[in-house]
Structure 1
Amino acid sequence: MKYNQIGQSDIQVSEIGFGCMSLGIDERNNKFIIDQALEYGINFFDTADLYEKGLNEEQVGKILKDKRSDCILATKVGNQWRADGSGWDWNPRKEYIMKAVESSLKRLGTDYIDLYQLHGGTLEDPIDEVIEAFSTLTDQGKIRQYGISSIRPEVIKKYVERSAIVSVMMQFSLLDRRPEESMMKLLEENEIPILARGGIAQGLLVNKPAKEYLNYTVKDVEVAAKAVNFVAGTKRSPSQTALLYVLKKPPVASAIVGIRTIEQLNDVAKIASAPELTAAEYAFLSESVKPKLYEKFR
């Protein structure tokens, strides 16, 4: 497994990250999968306080407790569950962040979080207040570094300009190349890596029946999936091909994959031994569908 540095920090993450959101609630099964991921060399595990109302953090923390020094643990904050459990509200206030981190630390069973991420963001947020909260937590040693998980270009720009974020988690795949519009250049210039999620586009690039996706038609999706399968050939799996496409684009440091089954893990984790995309293969994939631009969520 290859590892990449997160910005100017001392954090090194595996090129395949384990997206814990896709895990079920069967702790025994989850432990089996996570233990095997560690054996493959995957060291980056991403969760959030929002997932399963905190149960995801709790289980992941418990499973990784004895391997804490061997893994990079990331979680997120900003979505506050309502008291009646009916849903959540966006809350980026400093007061809430400072309380939420204590709950996450307790559920994760650790005294520090490697990467704490704002789970969204809008231009109406009290950005200076958010930055102050994360800076305070860094100074206190409760988090090592902080970043943002967002697809909004204008919001990301604000944090690049005003904060010390070390990463941006955003959606990126052959079927979602919106970050190429401006974000990738901006982040690369500022040495802020991307943690790319959605690399197989909900399975549409691999084995799911074609459907409309973002601004792409069913036909567009079919063409993209055929291109991935063609390039995969007998050299690598379609999943590996789709993820290698993501990883080939700077400044992507890790492709975060939602893993639910051991079969999915076995497939994507073996990317380390799969041949890299050639320049011709990369160009062929890129030309199979035209990139779209952000039309909303600016």
Structure 2
Amino acid sequence: MTTASAVQLRKLGRSGPAVFPIALGCMGMSGMYGPADEPESLATIHAAIDAGVTLLDTGDFYGMGHNEMLLGQALRFFRERVLISVKFGAQRGPDGAWLGYDARPAAVKTALAYSLKRLGVDHIDIYRPARLDPNVPIEDTIGAIADMIKAGYVRHIGLSEVGPETIRRAAAVHPVVDLQIEYSLISRSPESKILPVLDELGIAVTAYGVLSRGLLSGSSKNGPGDIRNRFPRFNTENQAQNQKLVARLAEIAAGKGITQSQLAIAWVLAKNPSIVPVIGARTRTQLGESLAALDVALTSKDVAAVEAAIPAEAIAGTRYDAHQMLVLDSEK
């Protein structure tokens, strides 16, 4: 596997830091995909750091704060070796229900205070609203984070799942280093309108869902607590259709002597040097397989051949349920 010293770092936009070309997404370590093994989660975070990973992604609503506390425990002696990206604003009830979003300036600062405490750190490297709050101008939200940068509690501003107009309005208030958005071989909608705006403004992409929540890797749902039970692509009828596409991906990967997961990650890496895949590995085995994608060199012909064999329009089902697709700013 490529060593940390041999990889070429990727810069997060014109104003952001350079990071290892693959980031670790920690959401799945707090039960979003079914029960998680905490000792293995900690070992996976440490293995990622040892491998050279420098960007760790979390959200204050993952496991009702559990994910931040887990990271805080894992980073007790490693804080200076990593950058922490935190999403905020999602409102949840004691039963786990999703209640909406709150990105008012006071809420921004309150959420930040609690995240700093749970993480056990004095600053967060990239702070971002998890979604656009339709009741709050994005200028107000970004302005509040900018205040926290001036106060020393935040280093950089990021965005998540917003569209071109919101990106432009946010960037007019303060430099934005990256947009976090779902982007994969079968989730390619950002290519038409969003990615060109990011290129114009010098904003990077931290791409989540690179494996389409395990669909491209052949992962199965893990009981009633698995968030994928709510995603259309994983219902019985759609999944049967989608597995045909996944089989094509596996066939191409086998021809290259790699796994389908590695091919899917390598495809994203090859699309643009300003994209950093956020890999949701929950175990050291998954992490190792994902990082090995850095050794896969795809030519432009390879990329085109993969896209022709697995066309995004052939996927059955949307990436979120109908309600979420309706309210996502990035889908408007």
Counterpart for residue 278 of structure 2: 256
Rounded Cα–Cα distance in structure 1 between residues aligned with 2:48 and 2:125: 18
Give the residue type in structure 1 aligned to 2:66: L
Rounded Cα–Cα distance in structure 1 between residues aligned with 2:152 and 2:265: 34
Give the 5 Å matches for 1:195-274.
195-208=206-219, 213=233, 221-233=242-254, 234-250=256-272, 252-272=274-294, 274=295
Give the residue type in structure 2 aligned to 1:260: R
Counterpart for residue 19 of structure 1: 25
| Deviation, structure 1 residue 271 | 2.1
| Deviation, structure 1 residue 205 | 1.5
Counterpart for residue 153 of structure 2: 142
Q: How many residues align?
A: 296
- Check whether the contact 2:13–2:274 (CA below 8 A) recurs between aligned residues: no
Give the residue type in structure 2 aligned to 1:133: A
3-state SS in 1 of match to 2:233: coil
Counterpart for residue 188 of structure 2: 177
- Check whether the contact 1:94–1:133 (CA below 8 A) recurs between aligned residues: yes
- Check whether the contact 1:205–1:225 (CA below 8 A) recurs between aligned residues: yes
Rounded Cα–Cα distance in structure 1 between residues aligned with 2:139 and 2:232: 38
- Check whether the contact 2:12–2:18 (CA below 8 A) recurs between aligned residues: yes
> Residues 38-89 of structure 1: CA distance to partner in whole angstroms, max 9, x if unpaired?
1211111101100111111011012112111111111111123447865443
Percent identity over the alignment is: 27
Rounded Cα–Cα distance in structure 2 between residues aligned with 1:86 and 1:222: 30
- Check whether the contact 2:15–2:177 (CA below 8 A) recurs between aligned residues: yes
Q: CA RMSD in A?
A: 2.7
| Deviation, structure 1 residue 218 | 5.2
* TM-score under structure 1 length normalisation: 0.89
Rounded Cα–Cα distance in structure 1 between residues aligned with 2:286 and 2:37: 17
3-state SS in 2 of match to 1:65: coil
Counterpart for residue 13 of structure 2: 7
- Check whether the contact 1:195–1:256 (CA below 8 A) recurs between aligned residues: yes
The answer as to 2:306 corresponding to 1:285 is yes
- Check whether the contact 1:188–1:251 (CA below 8 A) recurs between aligned residues: no
- Check whether the contact 2:131–2:160 (CA below 8 A) recurs between aligned residues: yes
| Deviation, structure 1 residue 114 | 0.7
Rounded Cα–Cα distance in structure 2 between residues aligned with 1:237 and 1:119: 31
Give the 5 Å matches for 1:75-86.
75-82=86-93
| Deviation, structure 1 residue 157 | 4.1
Rounded Cα–Cα distance in structure 1 between residues aligned with 2:169 and 2:265: 29
Give the 5 Å matches for 1:41-190.
41-82=52-93, 87-190=98-201
Rounded Cα–Cα distance in structure 2 between residues aligned with 1:13 and 1:271: 16
> Residues 14-48 of structure 1: CA distance to partner in whole angstroms, max 9, x if unpaired?
22111100114644222211111112111111011
| Deviation, structure 1 residue 103 | 0.6
| Deviation, structure 1 residue 250 | 2.3
Moved more, 225-234 or 72-81: 225-234
Rounded Cα–Cα distance in structure 2 between residues aligned with 1:184 and 1:89: 27
* TM-score under structure 2 length normalisation: 0.81
Give the residue type in structure 1 aligned to 2:261: S
Unaligned residue ranges in structure 2 (runs of 5+):
31-35, 222-230, 320-324
Rounded Cα–Cα distance in structure 1 between residues aligned with 2:133 and 2:163: 8
Give the 5 Å matches for 1:32-43.
32-43=43-54
Give the residue type in structure 1 aligned to 2:139: D
Unaligned residue ranges in structure 1 (runs of 5+):
none
Distance 1:181 1:141, change over 3 A: same
3-state SS in 1 of match to 2:65: helix
- Check whether the contact 1:195–1:254 (CA below 8 A) recurs between aligned residues: yes
